[in-house]
Homo-oligomer: A and B are copies of this chain.
Amino acid sequence: MIYAAVIGFGTVGSGVVDIIEQNQEQIRRAVPEGIYVKYILDIRDFPDSPYADRVVHDIETVVNDPEISIICETMGGKEPARTFSQMALEKGISVCTSNKELVAAFGPSLIRTAREHNCSYFFEASVGGGIPLIRPLLDCLAQEDVTSITGILNGTTNYILTKMDRDGEEYAPMLREAQKLGYAERNPDADVEGHDAGRKIAILSSLMCGKNVPYESIYVEGISGITAEDFLYAGAMGCSIRLLGVCRKTPDGLSVLTAPFLVKEGHPLYAVSDVFNGVVIHGNMVDDVMFYGRGAGKLPTGSAVVGDMITAAREKEAGHFTPVLWSEEAEPMQSFEKHACPFLVRISAGLKEKAKTAFSGHIEKILELKEHPQEFAVLTDIMTEKEFREAAESLEIHGRIRVLTQE
């Protein structure tokens, strides 16, 4: 029997325990001895839980039990998750986590610690919830020169944007609805301001290049500035609006950002609606592949953690640990000023001539909506952030959204 401990008995942690209990038969096909959760570490007690007798409060109990070979870290946050993970790895206990904040901040050093102590540090659940994504990228696509990753990585914001698109609603009431349904937190900033998606694209970018892309080096813009008018123009262009994490190889270094983008109908991400996530990986040989599914939730996210536990158990049994290529060395990044894409920019009707001058040579199309005679929009050709900012600064713009281009 493989003995495991779950540290952090919240939504995902309790999902992990439920899955291990309910799907033991499936798990035993892959790990014939079976996996048993011996401890649940949490600061709380759970007297009504069927697992009440496994609850402990002291990390020492867990990491000093020589029977424990795998820990699921489902606490979230940097501390004490980092200290506990480090303690476990230093004892040769593999750690599987859903904690994107920790992975984005300290992934490379935790991976190094695991390698030094012959165990595994896995984090499939930290990006895309239940969607198999990190392992396919690292294993199945190891032969590819991956040149871009583009993903809808946050279900909360995708739900809000999808509803705004379908119902023509404004942002604020749709956020309230998402909160009512439990899709958004009471303090929704981590989701709606793009931080969650930003952490996830930082993780994917690092895995794409094998070096470190710190979250802090990424431009992050959320969806709280998106309006019902933006969707009218999007619709007129045959597009929807999605919050994307985008990572691209450029001759100047890696370009990584999180921001709302116009996505054209027909693009595989256009069809990713509601709380679903989808990630398109572009390789030089395989072209585009997309992975789609539930990016959050107790059981989907728990499933990804349990999948990692199975691989960790197999690696331990084989005594062979496939290295996760993510070094502490910083990946050279393109300056955000040089990021280039088309923009859709909304401008007061009175400034049309001025706008034509400001964007001269860059105007792809001018859009006017009958419903909104007080303004118009310019779709530009591909401009850098710097060029766009300089062109727009003399105008009082009502809003601007980047446009996703296909490779």
Residues of A within 8 A of B (CB): 15, 19, 22-23, 25-27, 29-30, 124, 130-132, 135-136, 139-145, 210, 266, 268, 270-271, 273, 283-294, 299-300, 302-304, 306-307, 309-311, 314, 317-320, 322, 325
Quickly give the copy total for this chain: 2
Can you list 28 A-B contacts with CB-CB less than 8 angstroms, sorted by A residue number? A15-B285, A26-B143, A27-B143, A29-B142, A29-B325, A130-B287, A132-B132, A132-B136, A135-B136, A135-B139, A136-B140, A139-B307, A139-B311, A140-B307, A141-B307, A142-B310, A143-B307, A266-B273, A271-B271, A285-B299, A285-B300, A286-B300, A286-B303, A287-B300, A289-B293, A290-B293, A291-B292, A320-B320
Per a CB cutoff under 8 Å, which of B132, B288, B317 touches A293? B288
A271: which B residues are within 8 A, CB to CB?
A: 268, 270-271
Chain B residue nearest to A31 (CB atoms) is B142
Tell me which of A141, A285, A291, A320 has the highest count of chain B C-beta atoms within 10 A of its own C-beta: A285
A30: which B residues are within 8 A, CB to CB?
A: 142-143, 325
Report yes or no: A145 in contact with B290, Cβ–Cβ below 8 A. no
Per a CB cutoff under 8 Å, which of B25, B287, B291, B299 touches A291? B291
Q: How far is the CB of A350 from chain B (nearest CB, A)?
A: 41
A291: which B residues are within 8 A, CB to CB?
A: 289-292
Report yes or no: B26 in contact with A303, Cβ–Cβ below 8 A. no
Decide yes or no: A23 and B136 within 8 Å by CB, A289-B293, A290-B293, A292-B290 being known contacts: no
Q: How far is the CA of A111 from the CA of B310 in the complex (A)?
A: 21
Q: How far is the CB of A399 from chain B (nearest CB, A)?
A: 28
Nearest 7 pairs of A and B residues by beta carbon: A132-B140, A318-B320, A271-B271, A289-B293, A130-B286, A30-B142, A290-B292
Q: How far is the CA of A317 from the CA of B307 in the complex (A)?
A: 23
Decide yes or no: A23 and B145 within 8 Å by CB, A135-B139, A135-B140 being known contacts: yes
Q: How far is the CA of A130 from the CA of B285 in the complex (A)?
A: 9
